[in-house]
């Protein structure tokens, strides 16, 4: 199974957001606000959840879908890392 560390997770997530929800005018950094820039509707939330489950092999529960966790690349990769380590 592929090994993920924080840097790899962040880079994978960055690639996912840039290719899945292209926004040429926005520079995506670790602290960019994902809910207002990328995850703007329910469909995008579901797309992101499905990607996290399929790509990282983690399982999400309903309470994981929150602005706190999906705030930016940093918080999201921390969340993925915690799930992978659990």
Partner 1 sequence: MSFLGNSPLTPEQQQENDTPVKWNVILAVLGTLLVYAYLFTHIADWANLPLPQDLAEKIGIETEDIFDSDHNVDSEMFISSTDEFSNDDERLILFAIVAVAFLCSYFLPMRFKKASLFISFLIGMGVLYGLRTTTCLLLAHWLVYLVLHIPKAAQKFAFGFLAGVLACIAFAEPGDSWFKNASLISAWGMAFCLFFNLLIWPVMLRFAVCAKVLRTLVIQSALITVFIGAIWEGFQGEVWTLPLGVLLFFWHWERLMMYHVDYKSGRMPKEVSPISYLSVFLTPASLPNWKWGVTLGQGYTYLENNFYCVDKNRLAIEGLKIWGIALLYLVFNDVIRYGLVNLFQSYGIEVYNARITKMVSHYVSGDEVTTSSVLATTVLDQIRWMMLWGGSVHFKTGIWRVCGYQMDPYFNKPWMSTNLVTFWVRFTFHYREFLVRCFYYPTFFKYFKNNFVLRITLATFAAVTIGNLVWGHMTEGMFYHGMYYSNFAEVLKTWPYFILLTLGITVTELYLFWRKPKRKPWTLDRYWATDFFAMYCTIQFYCIIHVFAKPSSGATLTDCAKLFLIGFGIHLD
Residue 42 or 85 having the CB closest to partner 1: 42
Please tell me the total number of residues recorded for the chain in this structure: 86
DSSP-assigned letters across all residues of 21-78: S--TT----TTS-HHHHT--SHHHHHHHHHHHHHHH-----GGG-STTTTSSHHHHHH
CB of 55 to partner 1, least distance (A): 14
Residue 62 found at the interface with partner 1 (CB under 8 A): yes
Nearest distance from C-beta of residue 81 to partner 1, angstroms: 19
Q: Does 65 bind partner 1 (CB under 8 A)?
A: yes
| Minimum distance of partner 1 from residue 10's CB (angstroms) | 19
């Amino acid at each position: 199974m592929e090994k993920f560390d924080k840097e790899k997770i962040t880079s994978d997530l960055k690639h996912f957001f840039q290719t899945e929800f292209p926004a040429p005018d926005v520079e995506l950094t670790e602290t960019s606000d994902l809910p207002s820039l990328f995850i703007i509707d329910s469909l995008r939330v579901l797309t992101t959840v499905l990607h996290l489950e399929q790509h990282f092999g983690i399982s999400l529960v309903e309470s994981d879908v929150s602005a706190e966790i999906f705030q930016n690349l940093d918080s999201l990769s921390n969340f993925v890392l915690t799930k992978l380590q659990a």
